Structure 1
Amino acid sequence: MVLSDKTLLMNDFPEGISVTLECGNGYLADTGSGIITCIDGNWTELDLTCKKMDCGLPKPQPNMSFNTSDGTLFGAVITVVCDKGYQISGSSFKQCYARGWTGRAKCEIVTCDEPSEVTNGRSSWDSQDVPKYGEIIRYICNEGYTLIGKDSIMCSETGEYDSSPPECKGLLTPLPVTTMPMTTEDRITTKIVTPSTTPAQEASTLTAHGEKSTTTGTAPTVPPSVQEIESHQTRQHFSSLQPSNFDKDNLAIDTNKYIGDTSVGLTVTVLTVLLAVPIGIFLYKFLLKRKGSYDTREDLKPE
């Protein structure tokens, strides 16, 4: 309580004078008049009671609330709280004075930096302003590139994006492999023995691709009839080959059996020819001798 302005201007307080007291700044009169009188040199009892004024709740603002745990009476301090995605601009608190709440505050929406571009791609953001809280930016890769990561990012309440921008990378696509079916006849290549070689001097192997490689040495000449017989026998052996003759590990064909059979046949043929030559010579000489026994050689005698 304080003396009224009129009372403060008085210099003397004679017997029977009355003065007025008022509630101080920030307080309001609750009961009593506040008037006291000088009687017999003493002031009468004061009946005035004062209480703190109440500022009440501040005027509401968009996206703003207040923490009023300290109350709203004179001298109380309250905290300004912004909604999620908004930040305080100005004073973060208000105080209750005799004239009401002091301190100005405003809640503004959170913004993020302009989204970064990605190599070999583009973003959906085409505005001149910066993205605001809750706005989503999507990314698309150029043709021939694959997006690695999330295809979108969002501006969060902290002013940062919820994830890093994705990457656009070109992925190598493997070329399709085409497998052509192969038959036994496609993989086996036969070679006819020439007259200058014999089966005993030719070593043959079949590779995994079905090719026949030979190592040939010098040998006596074989008559054409033997060549025809050998070619026929070779074609017979290779035409009778079945897939079961292939080795499962390296797909090689065991040719020892077929070369052995061919060698026996050719050996018999060569021996027959070699025996026929001396027998023919022997018969030729024998016939000459018999012819000479009947020759009297009379045509050689002198006349």
Structure 2
Amino acid sequence: MEVFLDTCGRRTVKALLLLYLFVAKAAANCPKPQARGDIVLTNDALLMNDFPEGVDVTLQCGNGYVKDSGSGVITCVDDNWTEPDLTCKKKDCGLPNVLPNMSFNTSSGTLFGAIIKVICDKGFQVSGSSYKQCYASGWVGKSTCELVTCEKPVEVPNGKSSWVSQDEPTYGEIIQYICNVGFTLIGKNSIMCSETGDYDAPLPTCEGTTTKYTTAMYLITPKPTPPAQDSSTTPRALRDKTVTTKTTAAVSPSVGGGRDILTAGGRATTSVTSMTSSSFQVQHGDTERNALGAIYTSTQ
């Protein structure tokens, strides 16, 4: 009886040990493979939950990378994955499609992730994105090169321009300006639409002519003619005596005996007149004759 019990106990322990070993062996799986920057799991591998001993998993190149060499298959051996033989490299987007009047600065290369600058010819400007970037799908960023335009020129007061079109001037076009009769053009008589979209010079102006006047007035009083007389009756001392008069005050038109000049400033310059005593012998019936003249000069 005791032997029987001992035998049964040993068999039970042995059975439990075998079951434990079987379960432990069944639970010996590899961990889920981890992706890295350029290598990732395939969709089939992503759907797997268990990776038992001996199972194969396929890897592939990541987004933006292409296979350089290797199969990409790894195997679970002794709870570890074999080393992958797959090598990947960045995708090369190559040169973008070149549109008219366009070029690119590709100093950063054309591989996946690279950014290049769009350059337009002189007189053209970028419309859209100024840069393109290399993605897994190719270059991203749309752009074109369009001809530079300037704002329509405005008319200047008292003048006119040569621009009659309803369109805006484009790069290199020149607009001429002229002034109406009686006005003078100040500045350049032409402006050109430059590559920056601005004109190369400011608009000219048309200004009127300024006229200045200078007036000189002359007061002329002819010297009275003395009456005929016998010189023998006039004392020699009186005939030879000379009287000199000088006037420094403002000249009145009634003053006789000289020519006085009235300038535009209102001051009078007086000439010095010498008269003999015989000049005072004037008949009271005679009338002085005065001539007033004005000379106008115009300066522009």
TM-score (norm 2): 0.57
Amino acid at match of 1:65: S
How far apart in 2 are the matches of 1:218 and 1:61? 107
How far apart in 2 are the matches of 1:33 and 1:94? 33
Aligned to 1:81: 119
Alpha-carbon offset, residue 112 of structure 1: 1.9
1:98 aligns with 2:98: no
**Which structure 1 segments of 5+ residues have no match?**
176-188, 220-303
Question: After the TM superposition, which residues 243-258 of structure 1 pair with which residues of structure 2 at under 5 Å, given as runs?
Answer: none
Aligned to 1:53: 91
- CA deviations over 1:217-275 (Å, ceiling 9, x no partner): 279xxxxxxxxxxxxxxxxxxxxxxxxxxxxxxxxxxxxxxxxxxxxxxxxxxxxxxxx
Alpha-carbon offset, residue 32 of structure 1: 0.7
Q: Which has the larger radius of gyration?
A: 1
Contact 2:226 2:279 in 1 (8 A): no
Contact 2:226 2:282 in 1 (8 A): no
**Which structure 2 segments of 5+ residues have no match?**
1-38, 214-221, 244-256, 261-272, 284-300
How far apart in 1 are the matches of 2:71 and 2:123? 53
Aligned to 2:293: none
CA spacing shift, 1:207–1:41, aligned 2, 3 Å = closer
Alpha-carbon offset, residue 203 of structure 1: 6.8
Percent of matched pairs sharing the same residue: 59
How far apart in 1 are the matches of 2:72 and 2:90? 17
Contact 1:70 1:78 in 2 (8 A): yes
Aligned to 1:124: 162
How far apart in 1 are the matches of 2:259 and 2:76? 138
How far apart in 2 are the matches of 1:127 and 1:68? 40
1:157 aligns with 2:195: yes
Corresponding residue SS for 2:200: coil
Amino acid at match of 1:217: Q
Contact 2:224 2:282 in 1 (8 A): no
Contact 1:203 1:215 in 2 (8 A): no
How far apart in 1 are the matches of 2:46 and 2:143? 40
How far apart in 1 are the matches of 2:185 and 2:86? 79
1:195 aligns with 2:228: yes
Of structures 1 and 2, the one with the larger relative CO (CA 8 A, separation 6+) is 2
Corresponding residue SS for 2:44: helix
Aligned to 1:216: 280
Alpha-carbon offset, residue 94 of structure 1: 1.7
Aligned to 2:74: 36
TM-score (norm 1): 0.57
Contact 2:57 2:75 in 1 (8 A): yes
Alpha-carbon offset, residue 69 of structure 1: 2.2
How far apart in 2 are the matches of 1:192 and 1:19? 144
Contact 2:184 2:208 in 1 (8 A): yes
How far apart in 1 are the matches of 2:208 and 2:176? 19
Contact 1:117 1:123 in 2 (8 A): yes
Greater helix fraction, Structure 1 or Structure 2:
1
Greater strand fraction, Structure 1 or Structure 2:
2
Aligned to 2:32: none
| Larger CA deviation: 101-110 vs 116-125 | 101-110
How far apart in 2 are the matches of 1:54 and 1:168? 62
Q: 1:148 aligns with which of 172, 177, 186?
A: 186
How far apart in 2 are the matches of 1:169 and 1:161? 22
CA spacing shift, 1:144–1:39, aligned 2, 3 Å = same
How far apart in 2 are the matches of 1:66 and 1:128? 34
Alpha-carbon offset, residue 174 of structure 1: 10
